Amino acid sequence: MSARITIDLDHLLLLKAEARGFSFQPRQPVGSLLAGRHQSRLRGRGLAFEELRHYHAGDDIRTIDWRATARLRSPHVRVFAEERERPVLLVIDQRSPMFFGSRRAMKSVTAAELAALAAWRVLDVGDRVGGIVFNESEMVTVRPNRGPTQALRLFHEIERFNHRLAAGDPPEGPVTLNAALEAAVQQAKHDHLVLVITDLDDADGTTGELISRIGAHNDVFVAAVYDPMGIQLAGGSGMRATDRGRSWDIPAGSGFEKAFRRAFEGVLEHWRTIFRDLRIPLFPVSTAISVIDQIHELLGART
């Protein structure tokens, strides 16, 4: 099948070459989505105490340990080493509403590409990566770990879930976005980076509460995947829309088009406001544009 309809393992592996020039760390270039503490409470890696040593000219005076200096009668500083890894959990939506795309790729494919780029980048900086992949009938958790083997396990699950969407027998069941977030709450106890990749279909008040719970002890990103047709939809005489077995006649005329656009933008702004209040970054990801280009623009190009 065309790459825009489904994703395959080879494509996810090839994205390793593109997974550079961006960072999930809080020190970001001016203009990045994460630049400035008012936009994000990202903790970054922790600092572990390594040693106490004599003060040397040029040392940052803020690192002076005044108690040790008084006790030893000479200036001493505390030296910290940056922790070398942190677990990263990717929550990847592959439900039926994600199987839609009017241009470059389906929302489900765009979500898979973003997950792969994030996974490769995470491994490149020495962190652990895992994920929760879900559709309406199934949810699989791959625990964060180091090395490409874990990424391959995650990619195999993404490919399997993604191909099921195009199999002609769409998954049905009780699994919701909130169920996946509940699993993330259980998995990411503290000091994780959690990247939620979804179109926010069926998101409600509980969604915000769950993401707030995750963010209480972890860093959280929400990537809202959308298709341009979700912003601009022109109705025409005789046109019908279908969604999960239900159908509607689409009214013709610019009034409907404007109302559709306002409704879409209203939903997006609603979640922007909620996540802004929680100090959790939300960034929209379009199906019509290269995912890596959007990451560079939103997170700031870094080498």
| Percent of the residues in the chain that have a pLDDT greater than 90, as a whole number | 49
Q: What is the pLDDT of residue 245?
A: 54
Instruction: Report d(CA 219, CA 216) in Å as an integer.
Output: 8
CATH superfamily of 9-37+85-299: von Willebrand factor, type A domain (3.40.50.410)
Tens of pLDDT, residue by residue, the chain (303 residues): 455 899 999 999 999 999 998 887 644 444 444 443 334 445 555 555 667 888 888 777 888 999 989 989 999 988 765 555 689 999 999 999 999 988 899 999 999 999 999 999 999 988 899 999 999 999 999 999 988 998 999 999 999 999 999 887 778 899 999 999 999 999 998 889 999 999 999 999 999 999 999 999 999 999 999 998 766 555 554 555 555 555 556 566 556 566 666 766 777 778 888 888 888 888 899 999 999 999 998 886 544
Residue 195's beta-bridge partner residues? 90, 221
Give CATH 3.40.50.410 domain extents, the chain: 9-37+85-299
pLDDT in tens, 248-261: 565 665 565 666 66
pTM, two decimal places: 0.76
User: What long-range pairs does 202-206 form, CB within 8 A, spacing at least 24?
Assistant: 202/176, 202/177, 202/178, 203/177, 203/271, 204/178, 206/178
Burial class of residue 45 in the structure, from the number of CB atoms within 10 Å of its CB (0-12 exposed, 13-18 middle, 19+ buried): middle
Q: What is the pLDDT of residue 303?
A: 41
CA dihedral 147, 149, 151, 152 (to 10 degrees): 160
| Residue 115 contacts residue 123 (beta carbons within 8 Å) | no
